[in-house]
Structure 1
């Protein structure tokens, strides 16, 4: 069932051609900072820092940190002082760039209609900017976030991956606790918005007067009618591929790190109800499954003969290992390290290795591809649990 609508921002909800916007943006930012830095050098390193964000594949490092770790040392800057200056730029100067963009009259009525129908609406813009800059662009589109209840705005503070990485979409789904068939991505750029979303078997809609043949599409006004059709349509079948599985493993790890980022020591150990897990118990469970189920299962496929695998009941570990007494941040860190190691092992597999067979005590004949796909489903189950738990306890 369709529950969530992801909406791209630039040239979807807001007329904003990057070939016009970016030169004007760089010019005004360079001028603003020129009393402190030579504009050419400042902008050059800003561009390189942005490229570092586009290339990041590490779920342990947010895009904000990826940028900062390159940009400030490259210019020998004190990050705290310059961040304050840049924030002031976004509050005082950046709004003047509205003049190089244009409002789309249908954008607000369409968003309001989706919200009134009960859909979660996410602003799924490429998270290369801080939230303050994205919120300002939303105001230019007559979609002020203080007036509309967006479920999420994807910004560089909260995300680890960018478009066109499928991991960006997996991270979005993970933070929301949503299955791919519950979500549609709406955007104008097939390469950034649609192709990578469809890798995860998400529904997509090409916002264009001339949509490409392989995708449904049309105008913003047409979107509402198409979504109405999707509500009653059968859920699309999920197609498991090595690319999708790796993207989900990567994006889910980033999503977990973001979901728990603000938990206090008390909240880590707070159960939403008797018999339900606290965040620390969920994190410990994911850590131990990664270290004692997922990675060992991958390892046994290196043998010449198809492995025989036994189903494991891992839920009792929460009490047996007293997860509630453990450290949430340490469990998260250990999980992320194990996940990165798993991803490194998966990256070197050939297509034939992904298809290697096995015999499972419950599944019967299976393959590495199927088992790793089931592991990503397990991830998402507990990300949805974490999402719901945090809403309940905070």
Structure 2
């Protein structure tokens, strides 16, 4: 099994006093835009956009799109005028803030050791900054993205959720193709890193002093100490104990939110011919898989949820949805339209799941294959179905890229 590491950035991989950094950052951005926007107005709508990103809980748009929608229209200046100023800020001014941070050599050693072990590594920093800013901060940490092959580096351009929403961690895993081995979250923030990891069913290593304590009722961490303690701890621990547990209500809901977000991110730029690529005649193409999960969402998942909620101990049938692939001509469908329709169907399902009361998760039914089952278990099967097909899509894309590289 290959270990997957989800590494926080600030005060985990790099020393960064955010209480000092944020005011300096805001003041410099105000100055950069001062020719066109008053400082008060800029700050007001910068905070509005940031707060909207933090509160966002839907796969319908990226954090960057959400921020832009709450920021630019309120400034009274055409965006085409402001964008060059902002680009100059992140290219020329933001890099001068390096003095506000310090490299943690033990963090660099950990990352290099992890890659040497063949582990998969993601930078799971809160994606409230644009890509340019996060890449600068990684360089300040001695972990230049040009040098290290991180699977994922989260930023507001490519993410739909932020910390402490467990759907953020689900989105990180999704953009990695949803690894099926052990996973460890490493971070310093009790709520944004550690409690979020536990809500997602993931093990955590808390970068914290011995006198720090988690809120009352929190699950225990798998490990704790400094960033330099992570490697020896990993060398001593049985990594099978780090296998995820995705069966909780919060993990199920997070998975269901993240899947359409991940599919939009990886499939929207996919060329039309690659939607229809199939490794063998027996395997589905990407367009066939997405068509399948779209129709299952509309005609199987949502009706089953409604049956649990509306009927007493309903009987849940098990039909052969695989046959729809040929019967409905999935291979000939338009990929972009299919993806859009799946998102719409999933948003409808999510509206029902969000409204579930605790006792409704526990409503019982009888499944044709599994026998007695609760709605929570049924939703868990749906989330696993998502993960299986997401891995399948990543494998198809990987095989396609391999063939084209020959």
TM-score interval w.r.t. the shorter chain?
A: over 0.9
Whether the 8 Å CA contact 2:287–2:335 is kept in 1: the answer is yes
Q: Residues 1-394 of structure 1: matches in 2 within 5 Å? A: 1-178=1-178, 182-210=182-210, 212=213, 214-215=220-221, 216-230=223-237, 232-236=239-243, 238=245, 240-394=247-401
User: How many matched pairs?
Assistant: 394
Instruction: Measure how far apart 1:313 and its partner are.
Output: 2.3
**Alpha-carbon distance change, 10 to 173 in structure 1, aligned in 2, over 3 angstroms:** same
Please report how far the alpha carbon of residue 178 of structure 1 lies from its aligned counterpart in structure 2 after TM superposition.
2.2
Contact preservation (8 Å) 2:32, 2:89: yes
2:183, 2:242 within 8 Å by CA — same for their partners in 1? no
Structure 1 ranges of 4+ moved more than 3 A: 229-237
C-alpha distance 234-101 of structure 1, shift in aligned 2 (>3 A): closer
Does the CA-based 8 Å contact 1:30-1:42 persist in structure 2? yes
CA RMSD of aligned residues (A): 1.7
Show CA shifts across 1:75-102 (max 9, x none): 1333344233212211111000111111
Q: Indicate conservation of the 8 Å contact 2:246/2:252, yes or no.
A: no
CA change 1:231–1:281 in 2 (3 A) is farther
TM-score (norm 1): 0.96
Taking structure 2 as the reference length, the TM-score comes to 0.93
2-structure distance, mates of 1:184, 1:369: 25
Distance change >3 Å, CA 328–CA 230, structure 1 → 2: farther
Could you tell me whether the CA contact under 8 Å between 1:175 and 1:387 is conserved in 2? no
C-alpha displacement of 1:361: 1.1
Distance apart, 1:41 and its partner CA: 1.3
Secondary structure of 2:186 counterpart: strand
Q: Tell me, what secondary structure is at the counterpart of 1:6?
A: strand
CA distance in 1, matches of 2:116, 2:179: 22
SS in structure 1 at match of 2:298:
helix
Question: What is the CA distance between 1:34 and its match in structure 2?
Answer: 1.2
Structure 1 residues 11 and 235 mapped into 2: Cα distance closer, same or farther (>3 Å)? closer
Q: 126-135 vs 254-263, which deviates more?
A: 254-263
Q: CA deviation at 1:330?
A: 0.8
User: Does structure 1 retain, via aligned residues, the 8 Å contact 2:182–2:243?
Assistant: no
Report if the CA contact (8 A) 1:122-1:153 is conserved. yes
Structure 2, unaligned runs of 5 or more: 215-219, 402-406
Question: 1:41-60 CA distances to partner (integer Å, 9 max, x unpaired)?
Answer: 11221111111111111201
Corresponding residue SS for 1:393: helix
Secondary structure, aligned partner of 1:302:
helix
Q: CA deviation at 1:239?
A: 5.7
Structure 1: any 5+ residue segments left out of the alignment?
none
Q: Is the 8 A contact 2:5 2:184 kept in 1?
A: yes
Alpha-carbon offset, residue 3 of structure 1: 2.2
